[in-house]
């Protein structure tokens, strides 16, 4: 069914690791190397490389050579020293002193997100009372990274190391390293336009090119003209570093000694990954994912599986089908099925990072949340459906929708790389190799496909009147800017000269909400329904207020319908909250 597209030769995906009709396989582990700086040498070792060995009874058995994770038994400080980025510690500190912008390129898992802030702290960048700021595009990455760094520094989370995400601020006056989402730092621009609380800022996962990240980079470029002491580190996992370097380079002469930006490339710790493609396109990638998981579980040696799907519905469908299938499997390890998507409660999301029990194989069914920001331990096999859901605006009607589109080649490589963190792994792509060649090299930046009204409103509030001359990393299309301005004018946030109106426009910009929601809140008092509108809009900030149990889905849907009203979802949400308050008060 699958053909291998990398490495020597070609073969079926089911060819490696199968033990049907063979004698018992004897596994040999390599001895962990104590020297952290020695490069890996010798041939690439995959699970399917087999050799015959003589057993004590004189019969011939087959031996599989696999690479053990050499750092699992070490303490945290010893693990830090063995991370690939540790060798670049002095380079990073020196470059931050000499250059104003440092672009760090390194694969996810090389340690840049957790180690660079600690290197800066140790070098004294927070000794004058200012902070080291680190931004991430996703909440789950902010929390997990802050927790890990606090653990490595042996401090209580919220003191020297803290984080801030929406609805959750775990920092105090003594915080030296602050992790946050890029949206939080954007809000800080409104109260402190020069970001005087920070001595150095690290924009992590910049390759994801979220709208907030792009605007943040443009604003930081303006701040650097005023603050000569501010340093910027831009961290990226893909090779688009030249784009960031050119954007931040302030040297207009031909003298390289005056350069203000530089690129540092960090080698990864990834092992070789054998990539397999289907020979033909699959008619249903959800069903194909389930079948691929079962095949890997039956035939391949131990190692957790990570599957990429497009959304919550598909994740839950695969989880349900897997539970049905796994209950009928015999003579294999247990399957531990873990969903991972944005709408899951934080406690459920963190289950993906738990260690796998003995005699069990963990299967993480995830959206693209697991593609870049976080490294899930133990993954040896990746299944890639080849699609992703992206927010995109329809230029005809100006409505933003989630569209299912083919991933880019950069995303496909990112996903495949997840399989090579602990040992040589395998990535199974549910599409032919010739389809991979047709994919876009990189994902279209969010600012070029989304509604710009919230972005324009924020830029206006920061005093940037001429948004056309703002330094965008990737300029947005003209129709998107026009529709954004038209919406803000219709809402009364800007006047005929595109200037922010007072007090309505200024007040709308202060709310961390889409412009339509802000206008609803501010005008609700005129209609005497402020309390109801506050409730409805608060409920809309959560992706889904209902958590549907997997085993009693039908029963949950029936109960959910009791809250529904003909007038629509908004009043349904109000009903849910009203009932919740009544039940809480009665109890």
428 shares a domain with 461: no
Q: Judging by DSSP bridges, how do beta strands 360-366 and 304-308 pair with one another?
A: parallel
88 shares a domain with 48: no
Q: What is the pLDDT of residue 10?
A: 38
| Pairwise CA distance, residues 2 & 384, whole Å | 13
Q: Report the percent of the chain where pLDDT is more than 70.
A: 86
207 shares a domain with 109: yes
Would you report the helix, strand and coil content of the chain in percent, each value rounded to 5? 40, 20, 40
Q: Within a domain: residue 443?
A: no
374 shares a domain with 334: yes
260 shares a domain with 141: yes
Which DSSP helix (H) or strand (E) runs through 410?
helix 409-417
Rounded to 5 degrees, what angle do the CA atoms 74, 418, 241 make? 100
278 shares a domain with 262: no
pLDDT tens across 153-198, in order? Answer: 999 999 899 999 988 899 999 999 999 999 999 989 988 999 999 9
Residue 9 CB contacts under 8 Å (≥ 6 apart), including other chains: none
Give the CATH number, domain containing residue 427. Answer: 3.40.50.300
pLDDT tens across 439-491, in order? Answer: 998 888 889 998 899 999 999 998 888 888 899 988 999 889 999 999 999 99
Lowest mean pLDDT among 306-310, 389-393, 492-496: 389-393
| Pairwise CA distance, residues 108 & 141, whole Å | 12
Q: Which structural domain range is residue 332 located in?
A: 2-70+270-438
Helix axes 569-586, 530-540, angle to 10 degrees: 100
Instruction: Count the Cβ atoms, other than its own, within 10 Å of residue 24.
Output: 9
Q: Which of 139, 419, 441, 435 is nearest to 307 (CA)?
A: 419
Q: What is the pLDDT of residue 523?
A: 94
Which DSSP helix (H) or strand (E) runs through 295?
helix 285-299
| Pairwise CA distance, residues 131 & 137, whole Å | 19
pLDDT tens across 47-90, in order? Answer: 333 333 333 333 333 333 233 345 556 777 788 888 889 999 99
129 shares a domain with 233: yes
381: left (phi over 0), alpha (psi -120 to 50) or beta: beta
**Tokens matching residue 375:** 């490294």
- Choose the final residue of a domain: 266, 300, 322: 266
| Pairwise CA distance, residues 412 & 435, whole Å | 12
**Tokens matching residue 586:** 């009665």
Q: Within a domain: residue 546?
A: no
Distance, CA of 408 to chain centre:
15
Helix axes 139-153, 112-122, angle to 10 degrees: 50
Helix axes 89-98, 112-122, angle to 10 degrees: 60
433 shares a domain with 486: no
Residue with tokens 């919550």: 312
512 shares a domain with 428: no
- Choose the final residue of a domain: 248, 266, 284: 266
pLDDT of residue 23 exceeding 50, the answer is no
**Tokens matching residue 148:** 């890990």
The answer to whether 297 and 361 have CB atoms below 8 angstroms apart is yes
Q: Distances in Å between the alpha carbon of 581 and those of 58, 105, 217, 547, 574?
A: 74, 50, 43, 18, 11
Q: Report the percent of the chain where pLDDT is more than 90.
A: 45
Q: Within a domain: residue 545?
A: no
Q: Within a domain: residue 548?
A: no
Q: Within a domain: residue 310?
A: yes
286 shares a domain with 205: no
185 shares a domain with 103: yes
Q: How many domains is the chain partitioned into structurally?
A: 4
Q: Within a domain: residue 76?
A: no
Q: Within a domain: residue 258?
A: yes
Q: Distances in Å between the alpha carbon of 92 and those of 6, 7, 100, 109?
A: 34, 34, 12, 17
Of 90 and 111, the one with more pLDDT: 90
422 shares a domain with 532: no
Give the CATH number, domain containing residue 505. Answer: 1.20.120.1080
| Pairwise CA distance, residues 410 & 461, whole Å | 35
pLDDT of residue 5 exceeding 70, the answer is no
Residue 90 CB contacts under 8 Å (≥ 6 apart), including other chains: none
Of 276 and 354, the one with more pLDDT: 276
Scanning 37-181, the segments in alpha helix (DSSP H) are 76-82, 89-98, 112-122, 139-153
């Amino acid at each position: 069914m699958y053909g291998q597209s990398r490495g020597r030769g070609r073969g079926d995906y089911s060819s490696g690791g199968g033990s049907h009709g063979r004698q018992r396989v004897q596994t040999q582990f390599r001895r962990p190397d104590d020297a952290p700086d020695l490069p890996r040498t010798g041939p690439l070792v995959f699970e399917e490389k087999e050799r015959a060995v003589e057993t004590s009874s004189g019969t011939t058995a087959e031996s599989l050579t696999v690479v053990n994770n050499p750092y699992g038994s070490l303490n945290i400080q010893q693990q830090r020293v063995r991370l690939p980025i540790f060798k670049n510690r002095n380079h990073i500190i020196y470059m931050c002193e000499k250059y104003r912008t440092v672009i760090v390129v390194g694969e996810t898992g090389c340690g840049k997100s957790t180690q660079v802030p600690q290197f800066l702290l140790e070098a004294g960048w927070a000794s004058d009372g200012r902070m080291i700021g680190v931004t991430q595009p996703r909440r789950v990455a902010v929390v997990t990274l802050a927790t890990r760094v606090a653990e490595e520094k042996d401090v209580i989370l919220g003191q020297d190391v803290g984080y801030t995400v929406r609805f959750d601020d775990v920092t105090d006056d003594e915080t030296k390293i602050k992790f946050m989402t890029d949206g939080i730092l954007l809000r800080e621009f409104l109260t402190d336009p020069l970001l005087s609380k920070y001595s150095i800022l690290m924009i992590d996962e910049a390759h994801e090119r979220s709208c907030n990240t792009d605007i943040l980079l443009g604003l930081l470029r303006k701040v650097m003209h005023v603050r000569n002491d501010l340093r910027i580190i831009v961290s990226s996992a893909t090779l688009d570093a030249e784009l960031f370097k050119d954007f931040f380079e302030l040297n207009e002469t031909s003298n390289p000694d005056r350069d203000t930006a530089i690129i540092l490339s960090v080698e990864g710790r990834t092992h070789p990954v054998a990539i397999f493609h289907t020979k033909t396109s699959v008619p249903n990638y959800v069903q194909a994912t389930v079948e691929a998981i079962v095949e890997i579980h039956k035939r391949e040696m131990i190692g957790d599986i990570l599957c990429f799907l497009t959304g919550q519905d598909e994740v839950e469908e695969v989880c349900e089908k897997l539970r049905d299938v796994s209950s009928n499997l015999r003579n294999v390890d247990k399957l531990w099925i873990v969903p991972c998507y944005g709408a899951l409660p934080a406690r459920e999301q963190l289950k993906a990072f738990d260690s796998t029990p003995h005699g069990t194989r963990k299967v993480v069914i995830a959206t693209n949340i697991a593609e870049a920001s976080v490294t899930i331990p133990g993954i040896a096999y990746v299944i890639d459906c080849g699609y992703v859901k992206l927010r995109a605006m329809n230029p005809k009607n100006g409505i933003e929708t989630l569209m299912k589109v083919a991933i880019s080649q950069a995303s496909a490589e990112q996903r495949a790389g997840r399989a090579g963190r602990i040992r040589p792994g395998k990535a199974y792509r549910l599409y032919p190799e010739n389809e991979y060649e047709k994919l876009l090299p990189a994902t279209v930046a969010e600012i070029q496909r989304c509604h710009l009204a919230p972005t324009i409103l924020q830029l206006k509030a920061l005093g940037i009147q001429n948004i056309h001359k703002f330094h965008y990393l990737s300029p947005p299309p003209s129709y998107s800017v026009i529709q954004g301005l038209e919406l803000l004018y219709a809402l009364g946030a800007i006047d005929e000269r595109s200037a922010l109106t007072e007090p309505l426009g200024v007040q709308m910009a202060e709310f961390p909400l889409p412009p339509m929601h802000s206008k609803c809140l501010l005008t609700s008092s005129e209609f005497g329904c402020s309390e109801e509108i506050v409730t409805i809009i608060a409920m809309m900030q959560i992706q889904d207020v209902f958590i549907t149990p997997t085993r009693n889905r039908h029963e949950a849907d029936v109960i959910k319908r009791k809250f529904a009203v003909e007038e629509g979802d908004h009043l349904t949400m109000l009903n849910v909250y009203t009932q919740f308050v009544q039940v809480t008060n009665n109890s």
